[in-house]
Chains A and B, each alone.
Chain A
Amino acid sequence: MRAARKKRLYLILLIVAGVGVAAALALNAFNQNLMFFYSPSEVSSGKAPPGHAFRLGGLVTEGSVKRLSNGLTTRFEVTDMDKTVSIEYTGILPDLFREGQGIVAHGKLRGDGVFVADEVLAKHDEKYMPPEVAAALKDSHDKGVAAGAKEAGL
């Protein structure tokens, strides 16, 4: 390789490396701002901004979804398998909203620790399968749980 070409090659590699390092430092510095939502654990430990609106993400706890008496407000809990936060939301929920699914809610914490949401988005997971496969998986899972319970003498 001729000297001039070599110089240009090194120059380009230097540009890529320099921009890469700069981007890595910038992204690291803004790490918290790039998080789209806070988890229930972060909210419980007071990391979420108090008095400001923020987003809260987690799995909807099984059996926690209740309609309040006015018929429009839904109350449910989200969890990250460690801490749980109650959410109240008035409005139409997205198609994928169901118990056990991930959601992201935007709103504010009320004084009593309930998160009042003005927007609820469903977070889809990366699994794709036909309904009969999902049913079969759930079936074998339930059987496994039942077998485990039997062995444990329950």
Chain B
Amino acid sequence: MLRFFHQLGSPKHFYRIAGAWIPWLAAACGVLVLYGLYQGMVVAPTDYQQGDSYRIMFIHVPSAWMSLFIYVVMAAAGAIGLIWHMKLAEVIAISSAPIGASFTFLALITGSIWGKPMWGTWWVWDARLTSELILLFLYLGVMALYSAVDDKRTAARAAAILAIVGVVNIPIIHYSVEWWNTLHQGPTVTKFGAPSIDLRMLIPLLVMAVAFKLFYLLVVLMRARVEVLERERNARWVRELVERS
């Protein structure tokens, strides 16, 4: 078991192991997305207040969860890269940033589309929406900083420090709806006590959440493989790989 993790840390073995996982992850993710969407869009009952409009939450809520989750993964991987100078952690951190930014963007857009008919406005500057927008800028900042520095190891360290500093925003986003008066409603699922959502709506939501997690894992492995190849382009195993194909 320990040997497996040790191997996973070396770029060559990571490239091979990740390559073997990708088709399985893609299949599992595809099945779950289709099942979750069918359950959410067709099977789940309509809402007593919002009618069918609430169904956008099957995309919006998992996206928002992922935007926070990926940020924590990115900052943790960045910290591991900084402390232990582990190359693969740097690669994972930097490969996560564009995926997290996409999920943040998706959460903001779907929320906006839902907000227009339900709240009566596309956008308000309340604490939840504003802190989520800052999260998008943090992701973009990490990506910009990484690409602005030529030496990739120095760049990864600078980006990791920015990511770690930005972690302070994560609890602010999560608790914004409880600490301050916001237009955005409070938590439904991640609160103490029973979730205030019908079970037939909760299950597709959780299925979609798992599907989005798998999607992230799939894409981060694909991106990390490319990043590893680029960084190790002078290593012998990469040259052998290219010659063989």
Interface residues of A (CB under 8 A from B): 5, 8-9, 12, 15-16, 19-20, 23, 27, 31, 34-37, 39, 57, 93-97, 101, 104, 119-135
Given A120-B120, A124-B118, A127-B188, the answer on whether A36 and B196 have CB atoms closer than 8 Å is no
Pair A94/B117 contact, Cβ less than 8 Å? yes
Q: Top 6 closest A-B pairs, CB basis?
A: A94-B120, A130-B45, A134-B48, A36-B126, A128-B197, A126-B188
CA distance A120 to B164 in the complex (A): 39
Whether B230 sits at the interface, judged by CB under 8 Å, is no
> Is B198 in contact with A129, judged by CB distance below 8 angstroms?
yes
**12 A–B contact pairs at CB < 8 A?**
A5-B84, A15-B165, A39-B181, A94-B117, A95-B118, A121-B119, A121-B120, A123-B185, A125-B186, A128-B54, A128-B196, A128-B197
Q: Is the CB of A36 within 8 A of B197?
A: no
* Bound Cα distance from A93 to B117, whole angstroms: 10
B220 interface hit (Cβ, 8 Å) = no
* B183 pairs with A130, CB closer than 8 A: no
Residues of B within 8 A of A96 (CB): 49-50, 118-119
B242 within 8 A of A: no
Is B102 among interface residues, defined by CB-CB distance under 8 A?
no
Number of A-B residue pairs, CB cutoff 8 Å, is: 117
Whether the pair B183, A126 counts as a contact (CB closer than 8 A) is no
**Residues of chain B from 96 to 133 with CB closer than 8 A to chain A in the complex:** 117-121, 124-127
B82 touches A124 (CB 8 A): no
Contacts of A8 in B (CB 8 A): 82-83
Q: In the bound complex, how far is the Cα of B84 from the Cα of A95, in angstroms?
A: 54
Number of interface residues of B (CB under 8 A): 43
Q: Say what secondary structure dominates the interface of chain A.
A: mixed
Q: Give the residue name and chain of the A residue nearest to B120 (CB).
A: A94
User: Given the complex of chains A and B, what is the CA–CA distance between A103 and B154 in angstroms?
Assistant: 50
- The residues of B that contact A101 with a CB separation of less than 8 Å are 49
Contact residues of B between 149 and 186, Cβ < 8 Å to A: 161, 164-165, 167-168, 172, 179-183, 185-186
Contact of A128 with B188 in the complex, beta carbons under 8 Å? yes
B208 near A: Cβ within 8 Å?
A: no
B94 in the interface (beta carbon within 8 A): no
Given contacts A37-B181, A128-B198, A130-B47, 19 further A-B contacts (CB under 8 A): A8-B82, A23-B168, A34-B180, A35-B180, A36-B126, A36-B180, A94-B117, A94-B119, A96-B119, A104-B183, A121-B120, A123-B185, A124-B49, A124-B118, A128-B201, A129-B198, A129-B201, A130-B46, A131-B48
- Chain B residues whose C-beta falls within 8 Å of the C-beta of A19 in the assembled complex: 165, 167-168
B168 in contact with A16 (CB, 8 Å)? yes
* Complex CA distance for A38 and B71, rounded to whole angstroms: 33
Query: Which of B53, B167, B182, B183: most chain A Cβ within 10 A?
Result: B183
- Contact (Cβ within 8 A) B168 A127: no
Partner of B48, one of A121, A122, A123, A133: A133
**For residue B49, which residue of chain A has the nearest CB?**
A96
Contact A121-B183, Cβ < 8 Å, known A95-B118, A128-B54, A130-B45? yes
Contacts of A135 in B (CB 8 A): 48
B187 contacts the other chain (CB 8 A): yes
Contact, CB under 8 Å: A36 / B183: yes
* A126 engages B186 (CB within 8 Å): yes
| B13 touches A (CB below 8 Å) | no
Q: A93-B120, A123-B119, A123-B185 are in contact. Are A5 and B164 (CB under 8 A)?
A: no
Shortest distance from the beta carbon of A53 to any chain B beta carbon, whole Å = 14
CB of B200 within 8 A of chain A? yes
